Copies of this chain bind each other. A is one copy, B any other.
Amino acid sequence: MRQSQLFTKARRETPKDEESRNAQLLIRAGFIHKEMAGVYAYLPLGLRVLEKIKAIVREEMNAVGGQELMMTTLQPKDIWEKTDRWDDSKVDNWFKTRLVSGAELGVGLTHEEPIVDAIGEYVSSYRDFPFSVYQIQNKFRNELRAKSGLLRGREFLMKDMYSFSRDQEQHEREYERIVEAYFRVYGRLGLGDITYRTHADGGIFTSRFSDEFQTLTEVGEDVIYLDESKGIAVNEEILTDENLEKLGLDRSALVPKKAVEVGNTFHLESKYTDALGVSFNDEKGENQSIVMGCYGIGISRLMGVIAELFADEKGLVWPGSVAPFRVHLLSLGADDLADETYRAFSEAGIEVLYDDRDLRAGEKFAESDLLGIPYRVVIGKRAAESGTAEVKRRTEDSAVDVPLSDLPSYLAQKA
């Protein structure tokens, strides 16, 4: 894309009404627009990052057999009353609204109830299990405070998957398969080495632990206790001798670490399926409960985590897998040659943002660093003379000279 045609521009000033570093950087770089605290619009560059994260998550959920669907934001009261999750005294972060007729509606904050209600129209036999469904959709939560940018939204993009199994044994297999898929997601996002499965409280309707996926970072709001040799952690709320014994962990081996939660998975037993009267018949024709699991990944939160975690003093630093473009091509007074290079990149299928604007070199370099695209290629007067372009990785200080004709293959090969 030609940058002259992109309506956003980098800003010099840090926005005054924004406290979080992730949103400050993303707003300055023109990736997001703040509508209100905890509510952000995604501008063209930001949407490209979000779509890349979605595509990775979608591929990995499809690979474990997840069936994608799309539930609704508007929620009728009745199904939530069946599980006692409608009343504000029970769930305190609903946004509620009303139909013209006066009937109360909820604005979807999670989707266990409608998902169970929908699949209940189709399942009846033990042969229907196991299966998993998921969606990637905005969720709405009426948070009292929302000062962490994309890390805690009132409106945020989430992938939520739900598994349905005929018994506990089948459920365990599905659950572990999905946990493995989670690590493939974090690996592809560049977070694999610093993200840990963290045992947490399972909630009121199961004796099992749930799992959080925690990424180590100094800006994290959570503290986890990590056994580095085993690569397993526990969170603060379950740090008791009894729990550690159950998990085979030794307190003396645990090191406290600041972290941010980038996913969670829960054993739901048959709480929701039973409450909504959704069950199946086994081989003997006897009615049985369905065992359910649920599995969340905050897509927009991940964008905030990646932005904040990898950024340096000059701006954003995107991992290649989620960068809005692979290459930032800068023309410095050699527009014809730069145009030609732009066409060559486009033909080679290399995603390129082409700064074809009439700006000083210093401005272009500063904006390029702020945007954080993995490779910067400079075509200036020297390139016209020497036949080589200056290529610099965003993460490295020095550039290398690459012959112009080799550029597409050089950039296509690089990880």
Instruction: Check: A118 CB closer than 8 A to any chain B CB.
Output: yes
- Indicate if the CB atoms of A76 and B35 lie closer than 8 Å: yes
Identify the stretch in A136-144, A176-184, A274-282 within 8 Å (CB) of chain B at 4 or more residues. Answer: A136-144
> Which single member of B9, B98, B140 contacts A74 (CB below 8 Å)?
B140
**A70 CA to B43 CA in the complex, in Å?**
7
Identify the stretch in A121-129, A165-173, A225-233 within 8 Å (CB) of chain B at 4 or more residues. Answer: A121-129
How many copies, total? 2
- Indicate if the CB atoms of B97 and A70 lie closer than 8 Å: no
**A38 CA to B150 CA in the complex, in Å?**
31
**A119 CA to B7 CA in the complex, in Å?**
7
Contacts of A105 in B (CB 8 A): 95
**A70 CA to B138 CA in the complex, in Å?**
11
Contacts of A122 in B (CB 8 A): 7-9, 30
Identify the stretch in A61-69, A214-222, A248-256, A360-368 within 8 Å (CB) of chain B at 4 or more residues. Answer: A61-69
**A154 CA to B100 CA in the complex, in Å?**
11
Shortest beta-carbon distance, A218 to chain B, in Å? Answer: 29
- Indicate if the CB atoms of B74 and A154 lie closer than 8 Å: yes
Instruction: Check: A398 CB closer than 8 A to any chain B CB.
Output: no
- Indicate if the CB atoms of A99 and B7 lie closer than 8 Å: no
Contacts of A209 in B (CB 8 A): none
Instruction: Check: A212 CB closer than 8 A to any chain B CB.
Output: no
**A107 CA to B107 CA in the complex, in Å?**
9
| Residue of B with least CB distance to A71 | B41
Q: Given A33-B118, A74-B36, A119-B7, does the pair A69, B47 have CB atoms closer than 8 Å? A: yes
Interface centre among A35, A76, A143 (most CB of B within 10 A): A35
For chain A, the count of residues having a C-beta within 8 Å of the partner chain is 56
Contacts of A41 in B (CB 8 A): 69-72, 114, 118
Instruction: Check: A333 CB closer than 8 A to any chain B CB.
Output: no
Instruction: Check: A44 CB closer than 8 A to any chain B CB.
Output: yes
Instruction: Check: A96 CB closer than 8 A to any chain B CB.
Output: yes
Contacts of A317 in B (CB 8 A): none
Residue-wise, chain A 279-312 has the 8 Å CB interface mask toward B (1 for contact) of: 0000000000000000000000000000000000
- Indicate if the CB atoms of A65 and B35 lie closer than 8 Å: no
- Indicate if the CB atoms of A131 and B35 lie closer than 8 Å: no
| Residue of B with least CB distance to A95 | B97
A residues 15-67 near B (Cβ < 8 Å) are 30, 33, 35-36, 39-44, 46-47, 50, 65, 67
Instruction: Check: A75 CB closer than 8 A to any chain B CB.
Output: yes
Q: Give 16 CB contacts A-B under 8 Å.
A: A7-B123, A7-B128, A11-B121, A33-B118, A35-B72, A39-B74, A43-B118, A44-B68, A44-B69, A46-B69, A72-B155, A73-B138, A74-B154, A97-B107, A99-B154, A107-B107
Kindly list 19 other residue pairs between chains A and B, CB separation below 8 angstroms, not including A44-B67, A47-B68, A47-B70: A5-B67, A5-B131, A6-B67, A7-B67, A7-B119, A7-B128, A8-B122, A11-B121, A35-B72, A36-B74, A41-B71, A42-B70, A46-B69, A74-B155, A95-B105, A100-B144, A101-B144, A107-B107, A138-B138
